Amino acid sequence: MTRRRVIFTEPYSGKRYVTPEFNGDKEEFEQFGSKDSCTATWDEIMVYFNNVSNLQQFKAANYLAQGYYSSFGVPDMPPEPVVEIETDVPFPETISKCEKLYFLCNEERTDAHV
């Protein structure tokens, strides 16, 4: 399954914030026959992150996106918050072949993966 994170750069401060890891999507869960589930494709999930222009919108998008995921046999947990990260982390060099990163800044999206 593809592991994904969405990273938002706050336009005024330059601070970066990252979502918790999203593992797979609807298509991947069906393909692997997992007991865990996701009820949306990644494209459907990314709709929430498109046009995000501030931290409050990013946090809301993260909350909504996590609502598509559930784990078999695990009680519903509250969504994990976004966290601030160091701005000089060299992401493309630190991600593996099964990871994808989505950078958001000033309502623009850049996809990064290896």
Q: Which of 76, 75, 73, 78 is nearest to 35 (CA)?
A: 73
Give domain limits for the chain: 3-113
Identity (one letter) of the amino acid at 53? Answer: S
The helix/strand/coil state of 45 is helix
Strands 99-105, 3-9: parallel, antiparallel or unpaired by DSSP?
A: parallel
In the numeric block, which tokens belong to residue 59? 């946090």
Measure Cα distances from 70 to 22, 61, 100, 108 in Å: 11, 17, 21, 29
Which pTM does this prediction carry?
0.75
Q: What is the predicted pLDDT for the residue at 43?
A: 93
Q: Which of 102, 98, 66, 62 is nearest to 83 (CA)?
A: 62
Q: In the chain, which residues have pLDDT < 50? A: 90-98, 113-114
